[in-house]
Amino acid sequence: MSTEKTNQSWGGRFSEPVDTFVARFTASVEFDKRLYRHDIMGSIAHASMLAQVGVLSDAERDSIVDGLKQIQGEIEAGQFDWRVDLEDVHMNIEAKLTERIGVTGKKLHTGRSRNDQVATDIRLWLRDEIDLILAEITRLQQGLLEQAEREAETIMPGFTHLQTAQPVTFGHHLLAWFEMLSRDHERLVDCRKRTNRMPLGSAALAGTTYPIDRSITCQLLGFEAVSGNSLDGVSDRDFAIEFCAAASLAMMHLSRFSEELVLWTSAQFQFIDLPDRFCTGSSIMPQKKNPDVPELVRGKSGRVFGALTGLLTLMKGQPLAYNKDNQEDKEPLFDAADTLRDSLRAFADMIPALKPRHAIMREAALRGFSTATDLADYLVRKGLPFRDCHEIVGHAVKYGVDNGKDLAEMSLEELRQFSDQIEQDVFAVLTLEGSVNARDHIGGTAPNQVRAAVKRGRELLASR
Ligand code: ARG
């Protein structure tokens, strides 16, 4: 990247060149060059509109559009020499255009400012990123539905306080993650609507004296609507903050999911096996197989929460309209989008490959008195008030702990010490299958309900 000084785009009122360090300090091209495609898209739409309203001739427009397309090709071929002295992606491209097509290139910026230009570019860029992220969410959700269908009858312990609570089906557990991701998807679709509004035409802050027609650029760029106030249009970044908030929630979900995978793959749980391709070893301990992918996703959630906090802080003290502070919006936003997309991609690849260990899950569910609530419900059905049943079963569990027996392992005589309402039919209730099958309503863990939820999930994905 070259760094010669003096900036022709605004050098007119200056009597000495910008300090070399200041030029580097204030430049953003190192990171905003990533916006080149959307910058060119916005410029082509702007030039087309200027020609349509008679500010540019058709020949001038054609020359600008051709020049911009050539520049795009050069950038994509890695042949573009980005110059730090030209500050940012916008001025680099404009300077190159003038170098290439001559004085007509200098007309591109008519009726426009970098302030509405950059606000437009980020929105166009984020709109595309949201679409890619939505596709990854859907791919991950498809994987969850497949696994849930396969594992509709697999029994595992459900936890509260990380203590065995009640038996659940593994399919049901996986579908909890499906639900969270559905809300993440909804949030991003919603955020996309507000991202998809066009600030172009706001110019520096007050609008422009040229007879622009914003509906033309709006349509060319596929925006849903034009922004209604030029001061707001150039300065606001709430769409980016909203994206980071939605991305933070999605990362928080993935981080919790990661935590379960880390626990479940441990020697202590052994609930699932993660294929080797998602793990790494230790350079000193030969036996190790570490769940690096979920651990990293859990760790990376912090970057996205940081982006959210960073952008909120960036905006909170800014008076209207554009301030240079806003140049600091890009790195956190880019990083949040990249991190979320990569994390989703890793999960979407990994989830269909999870191998549950059925026997171990089942055995864990048999331990820990997971059907204690079922015994209490059984006694309620025999006519006792729930609170009394709770107490009776509490005594039975205490007896079980002292004697090393789970409820289903006790004889009828042993159980009847706690209530004479207990009869032979209690054993059907104390089995794991009896327990999960009994929770047979929408949102319940019964295998039937898991299959019904998978069906609903498929319909949801098909409707997107
Ligand atoms: N690089 C700048 C940014 O990212 C572009 C807008 C600069 N506008 C200005 N008036 N200095 O915000």
Query: Is it true that domain 115-362 has CATH number 1.10.1760.20?
Result: no
Give per-residue pLDDT as tens, 55-111.
Answer: 999 999 999 999 999 999 999 999 999 999 999 999 999 999 999 999 999 999 999
Determine the distance separating the centroid of ligand 1 and the alpha carbon of 196, expressed in angstroms.
Answer: 20
Give per-residue pLDDT as tens, 288-338.
Answer: 789 999 999 999 999 999 999 999 999 999 999 999 999 999 999 999 999
Alpha carbon 70 to its chain centroid, in Å, reads 34
Atom number in ligand 1 closest to CA 326: 12
pLDDT at res. 12: 77
Pocket around ligand 1 at a 6 A CB cut-off: 28, 32, 88, 114-115, 118, 322, 324, 326-327
Contact criterion met (CB below 8 Å) for 254 and 144: no
**Active-site option among 48, 172, 230, 282:** 282
Residue to mutate (ligand 1; options 38, 82, 88; most atoms within 8 A of CB): 88
- Residue 2 bears catalytic tag: no
Q: Match 């981080």 to its residue by tokens.
A: 255
Give the strand pairing for 225-226 and 197-198.
parallel
Contact criterion met (CB below 8 Å) for 286 and 376: no
Residue nearest to atom 11 of ligand 1 (CA): 324
Give the residue-averaged pLDDT of 30-45. Answer: 98
pLDDT at res. 6: 57
Determine the distance separating the centroid of ligand 1 and the alpha carbon of 20, expressed in angstroms.
Answer: 18
Best CA proximity match to 191, nearest among 126, 235, 277: 126
| Phi and psi, residue 207, nearest 5° | 95, -170
pLDDT at res. 289: 82
Residue nearest to atom 2 of ligand 1 (CA): 327
Give the residue-averaged pLDDT of 126-155. Answer: 98
pLDDT at res. 137: 98
Atom number in ligand 1 closest to CA 204: 10
Determine the distance separating the centroid of ligand 1 and the alpha carbon of 42, expressed in angstroms.
Answer: 15
pLDDT higher than threshold 70 for residue 139? yes
Q: What is residue 280's DSSP assignment? A: B
Mention every residue, 6+ apart, whose C-beta is less than 8 A from residue 291.
Answer: 261, 262, 265, 274, 278, 279
Residue nearest to atom 3 of ligand 1 (CA): 327
Determine the distance separating the centroid of ligand 1 and the alpha carbon of 327, expressed in angstroms.
Answer: 6
pLDDT higher than threshold 80 for residue 345? yes
Residue nearest to atom 4 of ligand 1 (CA): 327
Give per-residue pLDDT as tens, 353-390.
Answer: 999 999 999 999 998 899 999 999 999 999 999 999 99
pLDDT higher than threshold 70 for residue 3? no
pLDDT higher than threshold 60 for residue 4? no
Determine the distance separating the centroid of ligand 1 and the alpha carbon of 245, expressed in angstroms.
Answer: 24
What tokens does 261 get? Answer: 């995978």
Contact criterion met (CB below 8 Å) for 12 and 30: no
pLDDT at res. 326: 98
Q: Any idea where the domains of the chain sit in the sequence?
A: 19-110, 115-362, 372-430
Cβ count near 355 (within 10 Å): 9
- Residue 441 bears catalytic tag: no
Contact criterion met (CB below 8 Å) for 336 and 308: yes
Q: Where are the alpha helices (DSSP H) in 1-57?
A: 20-26, 29-32, 36-52
**Active-site option among 2, 161, 411, 463:** 161
Q: 177 vs 3, 259, 361, 363, 379, CA distance in Å?
A: 50, 13, 19, 24, 34
Atom number in ligand 1 closest to CA 330: 4
Cis peptide before 462 (omega within 30 of 0): no
pLDDT band at 7 (very low <50, low <70, confident <90, very high): low
What tokens does 464 get? Answer: 């997107």
The CATH number assigned to the domain with range 19-110 reads 1.10.275.10
pLDDT at res. 1: 58
Atom number in ligand 1 closest to CA 88: 1
pLDDT at res. 368: 87
Give the strand pairing for 272-273 and 225-226.
unpaired
Give per-residue pLDDT as tens, 444-463.
Answer: 999 999 999 999 999 999 99
CATH superfamily ID and name for 372-430: Fumarase/aspartase (C-terminal domain) (1.10.40.30)
Give per-residue pLDDT as tens, 233-243.
Answer: 999 999 999 99
Whole-angstrom distance, CA of residue 114 vs CA of residue 122 = 12
Mean pLDDT over each residue of the chain, to the nearest integer: 96
Determine the distance separating the centroid of ligand 1 and the alpha carbon of 428, expressed in angstroms.
Answer: 71
Give per-residue pLDDT as tens, 389-409.
Answer: 999 999 999 999 999 999 999
Atom number in ligand 1 closest to CA 28: 1
Q: Return the half-sphere exposure (C-beta side, CA atoms, 13 A cut-off) of residue 242.
A: 19
Whole-angstrom distance, CA of residue 2 vs CA of residue 81 = 7
Q: Report the range of poorest mean pLDDT among 6-10, 108-112, 420-424.
A: 6-10
What SS3 state is found at 168? strand
pLDDT > 70 in the chain, percent: 98
Give the residue-averaged pLDDT of 218-233. Answer: 98
Residue to mutate (ligand 1; options 28, 86, 114; most atoms within 8 A of CB): 114
pLDDT > 90 in the chain, percent: 92
Q: 461 vs 141, 186, 209, 449, 455, CA distance in Å?
A: 8, 12, 48, 18, 10
Whole-angstrom distance, CA of residue 74 vs CA of residue 116 = 25
Give per-residue pLDDT as tens, 254-268.
Answer: 999 999 999 999 999
Whole-angstrom distance, CA of residue 305 vs CA of residue 131 = 21
Give per-residue pLDDT as tens, 179-213.
Answer: 999 999 999 999 999 999 999 999 999 999 999 99
Residue to mutate (ligand 1; options 93, 116, 324; most atoms within 8 A of CB): 324
pLDDT higher than threshold 60 for residue 177? yes
